[in-house]
Amino acid sequence: MSEAGRVPSPATPLVVAAAAPEERKGKEPEREKLPPIVSAGAGATAGLDRGAKGQISTFSSFISAISPKKEAAENRSSPAHLVFPNIKNVRDQPPICLDVRQKQRVSMDASSSEMKAPVLPEPILPIQPRTMKDFQEDVEKVKSSGDWKAVHDFYLTTFDSFPELNAAFKKDATASFNTIEDSGINAKFVNAVYDTLLNTPQDIQKTVLKGIINSLLREWKGPRTKDDLRAYFILLQIILKIENVNFDCHCFVIFTRLSQKRFKQLVERLLQFISLRLFPAKPEEFPPLTKCSWWIPSAAKVLALLNTANNLVHLPLIPYTDFYNSTLDHIDLMEEYHTWQNFGNSHRFSFCQYPFVISIAAKKIIIQRDSEQQMINIARQSLVDKVSRRQRPDMNMLFLNMKVRRTHLVSDSLDELTRKRADLKKKLKVTFVGEAGLDMGGLTKEWFLLLIRQIFHPDYGMFTYHKDSHCHWFSSFKCDNYSEFRLVGILMGLAVYNSITLDIRFPPCCYKKLLSPPIIPSDQNIPVGICSVTVDDLCQIMPELAHGLSELLSHEGNVEEDFYSTFQVFQEEFGIIKSYNLKPGGDKISVTNQNRKEYVQLYTDFLLNKSIYKQFAAFYYGFHSVCASNALMLLRPEEVEILVCGSPDLDMHALQRSTQYDGYAKTDLTIKYFWDVVLGFPLDLQKKLLHFTTGSDRVPVGGMADLNFKISKNETSTNWLPVAHTCFNQLCLPPYKSKKDLKQKLIIGISNSEGFGLE
């Protein structure tokens, strides 16, 4: 993969690490190895690179390469500008192969005026505070005295601002920004300062790091001079190379002091930086690959800091989807996935170590291909077993064959899935007993629709539907057998495995619990499906109850006298009111102003975790018995919901472009009437139309095109209502003669349908 690139200009303030390191003389100390996925804290600083060439270089080698490849022909004081075209969203591009990349480069000749910073005069630098000799003498004194004050003060002063930074490390305060061969920086001094910092106590490292971040934020308007750019790179590289620092929340929350606009701009610049290094416009202008192989890993590490900061605040500054880099949709995703699986704890870089930059569409591709490979492996093993026993191979052995009766749908499905547990990862095929027909996808979807509709019916008692939140939640009623909850989990897993979108309404915290943990633990005694929950999670299910608890927390009077509550929960089970203590002796502990936070937390945890533990554990094991893949570790809870239920964002124009016709042509008058009416519908009617024709009002991850929506001509009287075949996403439309008649009949049909008939 080519990762060559230009050195960014001062007009692009946070293009990290746009410099090529050189090999340091002597051996570099071995750096900390990475976990498979970068987590919130320590993962942001983990060292990554691509291949053996990705050894982390010393800081002096980095400094020696931060200037442009060559000076402009004219004697100008202003730096050359690197223009970032808007290439973050490139979903419409075809897949890019190595042999055609040169034909698909992004033009960088034109630039917008707002991306070019004004040219300012070079600043007057402060007097150099300490020389390298002075600094080394201070370090030697520490060895005997143990007093780090002088060294600490040097760091605080040096990293306080860009001018101070340049004053400390620039060879000549009046020298211009030089070439790659001579950066104009005293690299030996920088290296000594950097190496000493790594050996300082933890508290000093943290203080210095926070000072560096604050300095970056103060200068966020952008480095607009050559010295600013040089200083900017020094600061970023110090952040990326400090080891063994346990980041606390303050280090990350500092970034949230940025405005939403600046924070988003910062993320976009970093994503553009990665895109341009993956697919450079002019590779010949980039430094050699050996000098810039760490650029992308460095940018990813800074993005990890920003992503963690964004997740720490109650209301994120930007949506998590703004961290997606759609350029990654066009690289070899399975190579990235296999690299992550095989070399997760080594220095081999993979974008899967930073899953927040991979779009949900790309993650779906990874999961689908991983599922297909598992299907092939299971089918191949079945074939080998047959042959080894000298039995005749049968094509049915390659599939998970479900034979069910419509009159005993749930019990038959449960029995079949229990008997064929070893075949769950084979391709699903469904047969309804007594009915002729081959399953080409329609019967499978019908089986899902009928089974989900029956299991989630209120009379069945497994789930409770909350009208205020329009979602289902697990019934807390105790029972002897929780196998049917396992069946629901298997259904969800099969839906993801076979790319079926289900019409299920679970709250977001359900998917958070489903990934707690994302892989089934080897120790069966470890609890599963337990996660940290808050009143906000409860509000997604029971908004009225959550509102009452919030009022309890904000009550300004005497809570004990006004609410007269104890640490108990009361629930109705089959007409009987039962009480449960939230803590030992809870019935004798009053809720007061002092302990009300504990009460609310225990109450919420009881409702969402403890009271439904057995039900959810069965559901969890059912889901993971099908989707037992490391690919789940790449997903956020919101992304699991989209994979299972689809996206709520509708684009009816995209549906119009991808619709197929049978008996009609897109130019027919009835079809023109249809789209005029549908595009003019409000959102709720558009959702009803989608639900009427597909069985769900949500869109698959791949967009409307993945629906394979078809409009067929129904040669019946125009007095008839439209008919839908949800198993095939097909709408049968009579040839209505007027737009008014079509609109009237269509609204009646989509507004009053329930299941397979009218209400």
Cβ atoms of 294 and 57 closer than 8 Å:
yes
**Could you give phi then psi for residue 647, rounded to 5 degrees?**
-95, 145
Strand partners, 590: 566
Write down the H helix ranges in 389-432: 409-419
Calculate the dihedral angle through the C-alpha atoms of 42, 533, 636, 270, rounding to the nearest 10 degrees.
Answer: -50
Is the previous residue joined to 637 through a cis bond, with omega within 30 degrees of 0?
no
DSSP state of 381: H
* Catalytic hit among 292, 539, 727, 732: 727
Q: For residues 666 and 711, what is the distance between their CA atoms, to the nearest angstrom?
A: 10
Radius of gyration of the chain measured on its C-alpha atoms: 31
Per-residue burial over 206-216, b if 16 or more Cβ lie within 10 Å, else e, is bebbebbbebb
Cα separations (Å) of 586 from 279, 596, 598, 737? Answer: 62, 13, 12, 70
User: Beta strands of 606-698 (E only): which ranges?
Assistant: 660-662
Cα separations (Å) of 374 from 333, 367, 423, 497? Answer: 17, 10, 11, 10
Tokens of 225: 């001079």
| CA neighbor of 484 nearest in space, from 431, 427, 573, 409 | 409
Per-residue burial over 248-275, b if 16 or more Cβ lie within 10 Å, else e, is eeebbebbbebeeebbbbbbbbbbbbbb
Phi-psi group of 328: left, alpha or beta (phi > 0 → left; psi -120 to 50 → alpha; rest → beta):
alpha
Q: Give SS3 for 47.
A: coil
Residues in the chain: 759
Whether 471 is a known active-site residue: answer: no
Q: For residues 206 and 228, what is the distance between their CA atoms, to the nearest angstrom?
A: 24
Q: Which amino acid is at 376?
A: I
Cβ atoms of 693 and 726 closer than 8 Å:
yes
Tokens of 288: 């050699």
Q: For residues 439 and 441, what is the distance between their CA atoms, to the nearest angstrom?
A: 5
Per-residue burial over 44-53, b if 16 or more Cβ lie within 10 Å, else e, is bbbbbbbeee
For the annotated catalytic residues, the residue numbers are 727
